[in-house]
Amino acid sequence: MKVLHFPNSLPMIIQCNALKQIGVDSTSVQFKTHSFRFKPDICLNMEKMSGSNVKNLMREFLEKAANEYDLFHFHDMPTGIPYTPTEKDLAVLKQTGKPLLIQHHGSEVRRLSIARNLGNPYVKVKPQWSNEKMLVNRLTQWGKIFDHAIIADHELFPYIEGFYNNIHVIRQPIDISNFSPIFPDPDTPIPLIVHAPSHREIKGTAFVLDAIKRLEAEGYKFNFKLVENMNHTTAKEVYQKADILIDQICIGGIGVLSLEGMALGKPVLCYIRDDLYEKQYPREIPILNANPDTIYEKLKGLILNPASRRELGIKGREYAEKHHDSIKIAEQFKSLYEKLLKET
């Protein structure tokens, strides 16, 4: 079985590496260099080319891949639209009759109207994805190409429901072996709080900064680090030193930072929509649920309770190992791939 993952994302790379470890011939390809300097098996560096050359290279690559691979796993991402294949580009893969899957990761499918109906007053959408008619048209086009869609979280389910014949929920993977836990020291008098937004508005950074300013003004002792414009390796070094990590507090589901924080043994604050506890997360998930209205109080509680910081960190590591170990997730993907290949 030869599997091609493309055209972007860190989870894509993690999945491919784990699949290789369990014996699946899997290749990760980025069409452009990621700003965080993720390292796939192949990078085509399309951002360095003119528009016509991009189209030619994309067509040539997909024509070659159509013959070389048995299954195609497409990662639809909220960035890099100029370097994302169109339905016309993907037709060459569709014509092979081989399995063609799409995995959605977030902002490229979220619609504000649906989020509001789900009772989330905090969620934002990126400006480039604010046109809901465009999103619906895009999902309709993808639904004609991909019979199977994958999401890592039930938070995304309502946004893609009805567009695909089959939707699979497979949790986000993390390479546990790359994260050595450093649990918060309860004797640390001044904790380090870290927030690392990939997009300030989407992640709720303004609310985080307001809470930090209020806590500082009230005399609480802590240090604060805002991680932005860093490659992934450097950012991870900052996370390792943290006593508290703040992930996204508006979307309603956990992000990659939550997983990395738990794997590193850090207490994590993140907003989880209440209905997702029944559909996705066990109630004992060791994430401190915080939204824009509660981030101040939740942060204050952790600053004042060092024992709680350590306890959450230990439980977080256990949770990441149990539910998000990339090897365990790879086994689920392998089973899905094998099923689809048998049906072809």
Distances (CA, A) of 231 to 36, 38, 156, 193: 4, 8, 27, 19
pTM to 2 decimal places: 0.89
| pLDDT at residue 23, as a whole number | 97
- What is the average pLDDT score of the chain? 92
Q: C-alpha angle 265/271/272, rounded to 5°?
A: 95
Q: Is the peptide bond before 191 cis (omega within 30 degrees of 0)?
A: no
Q: Of 62, 121, 117, 69, whose CA–CA distance to 87 is shortest? A: 62
Q: Is the pLDDT of residue 34 over 80?
A: no
**Domains of the chain, each with CATH number or no CATH:** 2-173+325-343 (3.40.50.2000), 176-323 (3.40.50.2000)
Q: What's the average model confidence in pLDDT over 72-85?
A: 76
Question: Would you place residue 78 in the very low, low, confident or very high pLDDT band (cuts 50, 70, 90)?
Answer: low
Q: What's the average model confidence in pLDDT over 4-25?
A: 93
Q: What's the average model confidence in pLDDT over 126-140?
A: 86
Q: What's the average model confidence in pLDDT over 14-32?
A: 94
Q: Of 203, 209, 188, whose CA–CA distance to 248 is shortest? A: 203
Q: How many residues does the chain have?
A: 344
Q: Is the pLDDT of residue 179 over 90?
A: yes
Task: For the beta carbon of residue 1, count every other beta carbon within 10 angstroms.
Answer: 14
Q: What's the average model confidence in pLDDT over 235-255?
A: 95
Q: Of 200, 192, 199, 197, whose CA–CA distance to 299 is shortest? A: 192
Token digits of residue 98: 């081989």
Q: Contact 109/146 with Cβ under 8 angstroms?
A: no
Greater confidence, 344 or 266?
Answer: 266
Which residues, in sequence order, are CB contacts of 291 under 8 Å at separation 6+?
122, 204, 249, 250, 271
| pLDDT at residue 199, as a whole number | 87
Strand-pair partners of 225: 194
| pLDDT at residue 37, as a whole number | 65
Q: What's the average model confidence in pLDDT over 97-102?
A: 97
Q: How many helices (H) and strands (E) does the chain have?
A: 14, 12
Q: Is the pLDDT of residue 83 over 90?
A: no
